[in-house]
Chains A and B, each alone.
Chain A
Amino acid sequence: MEKKFKPNIVGFLCNWCSYAGADLAGSSKTQVDPSLSVIRVMCSSRVNSNLILSSLLWGADGVLVAGCHPGDCHYEQGNYYARRRFALLKKITKILNLEPDRIQLSWISASEGKRYAEIVNQFARDITKKGPNPLTRNSQT
């Protein structure tokens, strides 16, 4: 029988909200899918498109970016810019038919440990269903 597919998911979490949310999920012992590898960034706006694209090309089956809710960014406007940039990248993956569902942006506050767990678990389920990312396995890229 074939080995069950376990995805590699990269999570870029902003330090002030989503990372703290992840912490809360951990300290309140909520079950979180272990396929997410967390990278802490200072703000969701730190995540430029190359970080997401290189993740997708170099081994990730999915990429989750998470930051403070709009209006709550520690740097005031960071997540507004992040949202625009994400909309742009998402559109590119759509036009080129590059499985846009493999990338996701979510707002998760420091008090939303439960939401954090739900989002990660759902995303992990979705990506598992999609299977391995063809981009990371192509030897001609």
Chain B
Amino acid sequence: MAKAVKIKKKTEEGLHDFLKSLLDKEIIKGVFILKKMDKTGAVSYSLITDPEEFKKAVPLYPYMPVNAGKALANFTLLGKAEQPIAAILRPCEIRAFVELVKRTQGDFENFLIISLTCGGVLTLKTISEPDQDKLISQYWESVKKAEVFEHTREACQFCEHFLPLNADITVAAVGKKDLDEECLLFLNTPKGEKFAQEASGSSVSEEIETEKVQQLKKKREELKEKYVQQTETGETGMKSLVNVFAPCLGCHGCSHVCPICYCTLCEFDSKTLQYNADGLSSDLKRKGGLKVPSGNLLFHLGRMTHMAVSCISCGMCSDVCPVNIPVATVFSKAGKSLQKVFDYFPGKDAEEPVPGGTYKEEEFAEIGEQ
């Protein structure tokens, strides 16, 4: 059983009111949160300081226009937040932030991190659906029942890590039937407890990993098998890999939205890997023809060696791919295997070094001896 506070209000409203009172009383100086734009359906992360502006905030709106871990790192790259800020992030966004902090690309200090038991986010395409409101209410119905909603990202559909790590406060959502009657906030840290004193609710003790939560975990694990099998590279690995990435435009959108790909100048956007005349003619001699733009497979494989071990499987890459390549499924699968090799869980602990940045003297004994 875990400490929690129960507010007798619709979940999103309860959270909204709680944050607003923190802001009103200047206990926090800003909220990093999703906000509705004036155009219908459009939503964006915003850092809000004005309580009036805060009215447009929609804390649990099921979209991820950018991985918020990446956005928070942008704010704190050059220094920590000077004032206390509340940030509402999904579990994989916190994990992305941790991975970035680890790489000295951001700073955790002064954030009150609020997350939720996550039912996933809808694919970005659905933003332009004429019937978006209906879709969203269907989404919440399925979250209440701890189901997998078909219009969520594939990466969400097979995400089994939807209970947040490193959150001060966790909002109960998955499998919570009475989502529309009460707002349940789990207080995971002393910091969370301190701030939650401002919430107008009653202290309770509740189970965070309910039966429903476990059910969803199981469902998602099953789906993972299914999706991964669809991208199986089989016996002729190269052939199927080429096929998976055959429609790739080389736009590098997948890497630009990737929170782990933080490099200011990506090696694959630079000119270092471009053909010179010699390379071009020797390649043509061997292949008899050259795909243009070239270097697709080098990009994907190379990028995989750079970031997959830290892949937190948020699914941004697949969501922005204009030609529907299941980038996230392929990378997440590779990531999981690499993480096993290094006994590493990305986003767990900001103090733990990245696998490529450390070593043990005695390891991988089989490598090098032949």
Contacts and interface: CB of A to CB of B under 8 A. Distances in A.
Interface of A: 49-50, 53-54, 57-59, 67, 69-71, 77, 79-81, 83-92, 95-99, 104-107, 119, 122, 134-141
Contacts of B342: 84, 88
Contacts of B308: 92
A86 B237 CA distance: 19
B334 A95 contact: yes
B288 A139 contact: yes
Nearest to B246: A140
Contacts of A86: 367
B283 interface: yes
A70 B242 contact: no
A81 B359 contact: yes
Interface in B45-95: none
A118 to B, nearest CB: 10
B337 A95 contact: yes
Contacts of B279: 58
Given A81-B359, A141-B297, A87 B304 contact: no
B297 A83 contact: no
Given A49-B305, A53-B302, A83-B367, 9 more contacts: A50-B302, A83-B364, A84-B363, A89-B305, A91-B341, A95-B333, A97-B240, A134-B239, A139-B291
Interface string B294-312: 1111100110111011000
B137 interface: no
Interface string B227-262: 000000111111111100010000000000000000
Interface string B341-370: 110000000000001101111011001111
12 contacts: A80-B361, A84-B355, A88-B338, A96-B334, A97-B233, A104-B370, A105-B368, A107-B369, A139-B290, A140-B242, A141-B296, A141-B297
The list of the 4 closest CB pairs from A to B, nearest first, reads A97-B237, A49-B305, A80-B359, A141-B297
Nearest to B237: A97
Given A54-B273, A86-B367, A140-B246, A97 B283 contact: no
A79 B290 CA distance: 36
Q: Which of B234, B294, B304 has the most C-beta atoms of chain A within 10 angstroms of its own C-beta?
A: B304
Interface of B: 233-242, 246, 267, 273, 279, 282-283, 286-291, 294-298, 301-302, 304-306, 308-309, 333-334, 337-338, 341-342, 355-356, 358-361, 363-364, 367-370
Nearest to A107: B368
B149 to A, nearest CB: 29
A122 to B, nearest CB: 8
A97 B236 contact: yes
B241 A96 contact: yes
B165 to A, nearest CB: 24
A26 B342 CA distance: 39
A98 B237 contact: yes
B356 A81 contact: yes
A122 B245 CA distance: 34
A77 B238 CA distance: 34
Contact of A50 (B273, B359, B361): B273
B302 to A, nearest CB: 5
B67 to A, nearest CB: 23
Given A84-B355, A91-B341, A96-B334, A49 B302 contact: yes
A83 B287 CA distance: 32
B103 to A, nearest CB: 16
Given A92-B338, A139-B289, A140-B246, A84 B364 contact: yes
B283 A58 contact: yes
Nearest to A135: B238
A114 to B, nearest CB: 15
B368 A106 contact: yes
A139 B338 contact: no
Nearest to B296: A141
Contacts of B290: 139
Nearest to A89: B305
B234 A97 contact: yes
B286 A137 contact: yes
Contacts of B240: 97
Nearest to B234: A97
A88 B359 contact: no
A107 B282 CA distance: 31
Contacts of A69: 368
A138 B237 CA distance: 13
